Amino acid sequence: MVTIEVAGRALSLLPQKAAFLPDTRTLLIADAHIGKATSFRALGVPVPRGTTSETLSLIGELVARHDARRVVFLGDFLHSARSHVAATLDAVSRWRALHPTLELVLVRGNHDDRAGDPPASLGFTVVDEPLMDGGLAMCHHPEAVAGAYVLAGHLHPCVSVHGRARERLRLPCFHFGAQVGVLPAFGSFTGMHPARVAPGDRVFAVADDAVRELPT
């Protein structure tokens, strides 16, 4: 875990590809894409099973480890309308029953627009971006918001690192620019896209259960 300062507030970057605001005990998760594997299988694409359970279990572990009181999903909680199948929603409902007092907030993203909001029985507060929070603007799309520093998702950022044997490895990363910070995709079944790093940006790669700042 690495803790930095953003908009005058401490922000802990977690190797599980989430972030944590200690002052409000808020866990930030971008691009969970619950039900993505189910959506692909419905289209006839053979993909791994169990990704929804893995994702939810990891969220539960982080909530317990950091004593989180609130989880803010920075868009794309559900992957598509096909994510509303009974098996997926039952898994989410069982997870929710284990955390009945946990505040859940979803900032709608582009996939949420297509998938629809989570069922009301799950007890989410669902809002459009930006969700303003003490100098931070919590969003899905990484676009500047006047008077605030944006924390967003959407891009699934990664960086490439090179080894001595000329091997090349892509690693998920946190990418912080002058006005916008982008979290890596949290879901276990998501792709990655190279971060566009400008001079002065800060990049933190996730590897070997650790977060490490890279020179830019």
Provide the pLDDT for residue 116: 78
Confidence of residue 165 (pLDDT cuts 50, 70, 90): low
Report pTM.
Answer: 0.88
Cβ partners under 8 Å of residue 203, min gap 6: 159, 173, 174, 175, 176, 195, 197, 213, 214, 216
Confidence of residue 167 (pLDDT cuts 50, 70, 90): low
Provide the pLDDT for residue 38: 53
- Cα dist from 185 to 34, 167, 172, 189, whole Å: 12, 24, 8, 9
Euclidean distance between CA atoms 182 and 175, whole angstroms: 5
**Range from 16-20, 60-64, 75-79, 105-109 carrying the lowest mean pLDDT:** 75-79
Confidence of residue 45 (pLDDT cuts 50, 70, 90): very low
- Read out DSSP for 91-114? HHHHHHHH-TT-EEEEE--HHHHH
Provide the pLDDT for residue 47: 43
Q: Is 115 left (phi over 0), alpha (psi -120 to 50) or beta?
A: alpha
Residue 191, pLDDT above cutoff 90: no
Q: Which range, 11-25, 29-43, 102-116, 190-204, has the best average confidence (pLDDT)?
A: 11-25
Euclidean distance between CA atoms 106 and 74, whole angstroms: 6
- Whether 30 and 59 have beta carbons less than 8 Å apart is answered as no
Provide the pLDDT for residue 111: 66
State the residue range of the domain holding 69.
Answer: 2-214
Mean pLDDT value of segment 158-182: 84
Looking at the 3D structure of the chain, how many domains does it have?
A: 1
Euclidean distance between CA atoms 189 and 155, whole angstroms: 14
Residue 199, pLDDT above cutoff 70: yes
CATH number at residue 197: 3.60.21
Burial (0-12, 13-18, 19+ Cβ within 10 Å), 67: exposed
The model's pLDDT over 114-157, given as tens digits with 9 standing for 90+, comes to 767 888 899 999 999 999 999 999 999 999 999 999 999 999 99
Confidence of residue 40 (pLDDT cuts 50, 70, 90): very low
**Cis omega before residue 130 (within 30°)?**
yes
Euclidean distance between CA atoms 200 and 112, whole angstroms: 33
Confidence of residue 161 (pLDDT cuts 50, 70, 90): confident
Euclidean distance between CA atoms 13 and 205, whole angstroms: 10
Residue 101, pLDDT above cutoff 90: yes
